[in-house]
Structure 1
Amino acid sequence: MNLTDLLAQAGGLQSVARDLGISEAQAASGAEALLPAIMGGMKKQAQAQPAGLEGLGGLLGQLGGGSLLDQVLSPQPTDPSQGNAVLGQIFGSKDVSRTVADSAASRSGLDSGLLRKMLPLLAMLVTGYMARQAGGGQPLETAGSGPGLGGLAGSLGGLFGGRSTGTAGAGGAGAAGPWGGLGAMLDANGDGNALDDILRMAGGSR
C-alpha cells in the first residue's frame, strides 16, 4: 500500500478535498503528483541530519509532530501556515514549491494554483504521519513496522524505496519506490529522489 492509499484510508484525502472544494478523485490525483517531491524533500532532510532518522524524528516534532495530521483530519478548515513552514524546511524556498506545483500540474492536468494550495496540506499529513511513526503511534495501517525509530525507519525505508532499517533505509535508491510509473518517470536518473529531477528538469537544480 503506497502513501496515497494510506492517507486516503485515514480520511486525509477526503479532508483535503473538503478544504479545497474539489472531488476526492482530484485530491488523489494531486497527491499522486505532489507526494514524490514532498518525500524527496523529506529524504534530503533525513540525509542532512547528523543523527540520521533520529535527527529527522526530532525535526518532525519541531515542525508540529502528529498534531499536524489531526489538524487536517479535523472537520474544521485547516490553517495551512504550519504546512507552509514544513515546505520551507524541506524545499528551502517558495520558488521550489512553485516549481513542484507547476511540474505536478503538467503531469496531473490539475491547475498549478490548486496544487500550490494542496502542497501545505499534504505536507502536514505526511509530517504528522511520519511523526506518529517516530513516536510509536500507528494511526494508519503500518503492518510490519515496530514502534519508535524502528517504525519510522520501516516507514521511511518503504516510502523512499530503500531498506527498512537504519539511515540507509531513508537514503535508499529505489527508482520508483511506492510511486509506480509516476515515481519512475519523475526519478529520471534513478537516484531515488524525485525532487532533484523536478528541479533539474525545470533548470533549477541546486
Structure 2
Amino acid sequence: MQNFDQLLSLSGMDLGQLGARFGLTPEQTLSALGSLMPAVLGGFHKQADPGPGSFANAAGTAEPTTSTGNDVLGQIFGTKDVSRQVADHAADQSGVSSAVLKAMLPIVAAMVARHFATNGGAGAGGGLGGVLASVLGGGATGSGAAAGGLGGMFGGGGNPLDAILNGLRR
C-alpha cells in the first residue's frame, strides 16, 4: 500500500479522496488500484522509454484529470478496447464494478504518468522497474505484499498487460 500512497500523494489525493470520487470505501479503492495498477504499469513498460517529456502534461495539472488520463491511456494502450479489457479484468479481480473501474482507469493512468514525468521517465532505469517490482510483489521493500502480492496473479515474470490481454483473447 505504501507505493499507492506515494502515487496518490504526488497527485494531491489520498486513498479516501480517490475512493470518494468514485463512491468507494478505502478497501474497495485499494482493491481497485491493486487490480488496475499492474496493467497500467505494464502499458508504460511496453513503451520504448518515452522519457520524462512524454507525459509532461500529466505533471502540469493540479490533480489527475480524466482528459489527461485518456491521453495517457491512448499512448500506453493504443485503443479504447484495451482499456475496456483492462477494466473488465480488474472488475473480475477486485469485485468493483467495471463501470466504476472504466471511470477510474484514466485517473490512475494520469497519476502514474505524473509520477514518471516528475521522477525521470518511465523506463526501467527511470523508476518503472522499482515501481513494477514493488507493486507486483517483488520489491525489496516488501510493500507489494501489502498490495496483495499482485505478481502471483499473472504467473510471475511477464508483463501483466500481456497476461490480461492473452487471457481475454482465448
1:105 to 1:125, Cα distance in 2 relative to 1, 3 A: same
Once the 2 structures are TM-superposed, how far is the Cα of residue 67 of structure 1 from its aligned partner?
A: 2.4
1:26 aligns with 2:28: yes
TM-score, normalization: structure 1? 0.67
Q: 2: distance between equivalents of 1:177 and 1:42? A: 18
**1:136-147 paired onto structure 2 within 5 Å:** none
Partner of 2:91: 105
* Structure 1 unmatched runs, 5+: 73-78, 135-148, 163-174
Answer whether contact 1:8 1:14 (CA < 8 A) is retained.
Answer: no
1:7 to 1:128, Cα distance in 2 relative to 1, 3 A: same
Q: 1:160 aligns with which of 132, 147, 151?
A: 132
**1:18-167 paired onto structure 2 within 5 Å:** 18-45=20-47, 48=48, 52=49, 55-61=50-56, 64-68=57-61, 70-72=62-64, 79-134=65-120, 153=125, 155-161=127-133
Q: 2: distance between equivalents of 1:196 and 1:176? A: 18
Q: How many residues are treated as equivalent by the alignment?
A: 160
1:84 to 1:43, Cα distance in 2 relative to 1, 3 A: same
Deviation per CA, 1:51-98, whole angstroms, max 9, x where unpaired?
A: x4xx3222122xx13124x323xxxxxx41111111111011111111
Q: 1: distance between equivalents of 2:126 and 2:53? A: 17
Once the 2 structures are TM-superposed, how far is the Cα of residue 19 of structure 1 from its aligned partner?
A: 2.0
What percent of counterpart residues are identical?
A: 36
Which has the larger Rg? Answer: 1
Q: 1: distance between equivalents of 2:112 and 2:14? A: 10
**1:166-205 paired onto structure 2 within 5 Å:** 176-178=137-139, 179-180=144-145, 182-188=149-155, 190-191=157-158, 193-203=159-169
Amino acid at match of 1:15: Q
TM-score, normalization: structure 2? 0.80
Q: Secondary structure at the match of 1:190?
A: coil
Q: With CA pairs under 8 Å and 6+ residues apart, which has the higher RCO, 1 or 2? A: 2
1:8 to 1:86, Cα distance in 2 relative to 1, 3 A: closer
Answer whether contact 2:58 2:68 (CA < 8 A) is retained.
Answer: no
